[in-house]
Chain A
Amino acid sequence: MNTIIQAEIPQQLCQQAQLLIQQGWATNLQEVINEALRRYVESHEDSLSEAFIQDDVAWGLHGDD
């Protein structure tokens, strides 16, 4: 199931994406946005953010620098 969203993106970014599509790196703008969003979500996973914060707290409390 898909959800329709409306979002403003910078013109230059959109032009860069269109260029990639013209060059054949992606089928259309929707595919580019899906891929960008997927990568963002994967690299900002909740468990990962939490692990970093726990590391940071341990460093804050017990680090040596």
Chain B
Amino acid sequence: MATTKNLVVADAGVLIHLDELGALDVLSDYAAVFVPDAVWSEVLRHRPQALQNKSIHLVYVSAVAYSPKVNAMAKIFTLHHGECEALSLCLDREIETLLTDDTAARLAANNLNLKAHGTLGLLIRAVRQQLRSADDIVQLLAAIPQQTSLHIRPQLLNNVIEQVKEEWRDKQ
């Protein structure tokens, strides 16, 4: 039986960026990836094929009411509708992890005592979970600037790649 530990809620960015890399399967060990209506619509508009992926268990959730806490956060952090629905869904269903690449949404998640992880963390985790090889993930990380709409400072991305290569070299 699925516990809330292996359930996550996704924001649009992570689904779009992982699909752009052909790497949505890094979410395949989650029992379910919940997608609230506003996020679903956003992905449908920008990357509809991400919602057809058979390797992951996406669960569409309609009509997510904003939690009062999220409503307050929305004003402070200028959150979008999808981010508000995703955070509200986490609180409503007691799901502790939000998948997002948005800094403001991560900040809001931290303030709501939720965990927040993004595309980079999920890719790297895939090696730990034995879903992908280290070589695969290094290649995918390096492809982020050319292949995805995720913006990350090139020097920072290079540092991350060097850091993971170093870490995985030690373990081989």
Chain A residues within CB distance 8 Å of chain B = 36, 39-40, 43-46, 48-50, 52-53, 55-57, 59-63, 65
Question: Please, which residues of chain A bring their CB within 8 A of the CB of B160?
Answer: 53, 57
Q: Which of A36, A45, A61 contacts B167 (CB 8 A)?
A: A61
| A60 touching B125, Cβ below 8 Å | yes
Question: Please, which residues of chain B bring their CB within 8 A of the CB of A63?
Answer: 121, 125, 128
Within the assembled complex, what's the spacing in Å between the Cα atoms of A29 and B135? 51
Q: Does B2 make an interface contact (CB < 8 A)?
A: no
| B106 touching A60, Cβ below 8 Å | no
Q: Does B32 make an interface contact (CB < 8 A)?
A: no
Main secondary structure of the interface of A (DSSP, over half): helix
Count of B interface residues, CB-CB < 8 Å: 28
| A57 touching B121, Cβ below 8 Å | yes
Chain B residues within CB distance 8 Å of chain A = 5-6, 76-78, 97, 103-104, 106-107, 116-118, 120-125, 127-128, 152-153, 156, 160, 163-164, 167
Among all A-B residue pairs, the 3 with the closest Cβ atoms: A60-B124, A56-B121, A43-B104
Question: Please, which residues of chain A bring their CB within 8 A of the CB of B107?
Answer: 43, 48
| B117 touching A36, Cβ below 8 Å | no
From residue A33, how far is it (CB to closest CB) to chain B in Å?
A: 12
| A44 touching B104, Cβ below 8 Å | yes
| B118 touching A56, Cβ below 8 Å | yes
Within the assembled complex, what's the spacing in Å between the Cα atoms of A62 and B123? 13
Question: Please, which residues of chain A bring their CB within 8 A of the CB of B152?
Answer: 53
Question: Please, which residues of chain B bring their CB within 8 A of the CB of A43?
Answer: 76-78, 103-104, 107
| A60 touching B120, Cβ below 8 Å | yes
| A46 touching B118, Cβ below 8 Å | no
From residue B55, how far is it (CB to closest CB) to chain A in Å?
A: 19
Closest to A62 in B: B128
Within the assembled complex, what's the spacing in Å between the Cα atoms of A39 and B103? 12
| 17 A-B contacts (beta carbon < 8 Å) | A36-B78, A44-B104, A50-B156, A52-B116, A52-B118, A53-B120, A53-B160, A56-B124, A57-B121, A57-B163, A59-B125, A60-B125, A61-B124, A61-B128, A61-B164, A63-B128, A65-B5
Within the assembled complex, what's the spacing in Å between the Cα atoms of A45 and B160? 19
| A52 touching B106, Cβ below 8 Å | yes
Within the assembled complex, what's the spacing in Å between the Cα atoms of A59 and B78? 26
